[in-house]
């Protein structure tokens, strides 16, 4: 794992050593959700939630059209789940039509290292496309849970360690059962224009995780009709890069 994280960092540092390179900052927001289900009877309705993304970006140009981006980002990715219980008092879960609606939202704070090929064309306005893998690690998290009849939802932290919560402000996720590391693919595109000493970029990016949040010792441990819980993210960001090779 250390080698995987070392590669993008090494590439970022390399940009400051030779060649046509630029570096800057990126800032924006994510819209994300988490796919998956435990069984066919899973009645939770999944939704999207928003979060911040920001960090450093470096770009190395091989030609005017082809370059390599390496980034170090702090990214908030999560999901929202809605379900209800019927009002008959028997405690059975029902669809959202008749019962009291509950909503659970979770956010995971990832350190991400994307490495992407970048293809640029144009003169005044430079349009580009990107594609490449990203590596992520969930450093922390938080959640919010409440019902439509509650005055205030419960809020708390997510901690990645074995434990049992004795209050409503901590949710423990055992690292033996929950995967903090994420690997996925980014695709997207944007437009850039030289403004002042650097280039201002606006970008739309789609990220898809490949790894299940849940760990299983073997396939037989998975529930019947289980579908993997994976990150899906749409990022809308702006970046400003300085040409450091001049």
Q: Report the number of distinct structural domains present in the chain.
A: 1
pLDDT for the residue 66: 93
pLDDT for the residue 148: 66
H, E, C per residue of 11-74: HHHHCCCCCEEEEEEEEEEEEEEECCECCCCCCCEEECEEEEEEEEEEEEECCCCEEEEEEEEE
Give the tokens for residue 245: 């090779």
Give the distance from CA 146 to its chain's centroid.
23
For 147-174, the pLDDT digits (tens) are 766 667 788 999 998 877 656 688 888 8
CATH assignment of the domain containing 174: 2.40.160.20
Report the C-alpha gap between 23 and 42 in whole angstroms. Answer: 46
For 72-108, the pLDDT digits (tens) are 999 999 999 887 755 444 444 444 445 567 888 999 9
245: left (phi over 0), alpha (psi -120 to 50) or beta: alpha
pLDDT for the residue 97: 43
Report the C-alpha gap between 241 and 208 in whole angstroms. Answer: 26
Q: Residues of the chain with pLDDT > 70: what percent?
A: 80
Pairing relation of β-strands 198-209 and 100-121? unpaired
pLDDT for the residue 90: 44
Range of 31's domain?
2-243
Among 94-98, 115-119, 187-191, name the one with the lowest average pLDDT: 94-98
| DSSP H stretches of helix in 100-224 | none
């Amino acid at each position: 794992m250390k080698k995987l994280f070392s590669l993008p960092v090494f590439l970022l540092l390399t940009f400051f050593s030779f060649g046509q390179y630029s570096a800057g900052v990126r800032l924006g927001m994510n819209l994300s959700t988490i796919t998956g289900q435990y069984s066919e009877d899973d009645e939770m309705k999944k939704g999207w939630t928003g979060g911040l993304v920001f960090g450093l970006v470096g770009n190395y140009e091989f030609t005017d059209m082809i370059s390599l981006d390496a980034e170090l980002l702090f990214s908030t990715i999560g999901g929202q789940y809605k379900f209800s219980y019927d009002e008959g008092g028997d405690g059975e879960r029902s669809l959202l039509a008749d019962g009291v609606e509950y909503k659970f939202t979770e956010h995971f704070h990832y350190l991400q290292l994307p490495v992407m090929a970048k293809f640029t064309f144009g003169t005044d306005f430079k349009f580009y496309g990107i594609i490449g893998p990203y590596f992520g690690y969930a450093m922390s998290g938080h959640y919010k849970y409440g019902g439509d009849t509650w005055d205030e939802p419960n809020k708390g932290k997510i901690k990645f360690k074995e434990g049992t919560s004795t209050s409503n402000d901590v949710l423990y996720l055992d690292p033996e059962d929950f995967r903090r590391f994420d690997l996925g693919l980014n695709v997207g595109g944007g437009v850039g224009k030289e403004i002042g000493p650097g280039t201002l970029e606006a970008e739309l990016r789609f990220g898809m995780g490949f790894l299940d949040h849940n760990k299983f010792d073997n396939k037989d441990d998975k529930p019947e009709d289980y579908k993997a819980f994976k990150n899906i993210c749409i990022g809308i960001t702006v970046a400003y890069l300085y040409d450091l090779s001049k």
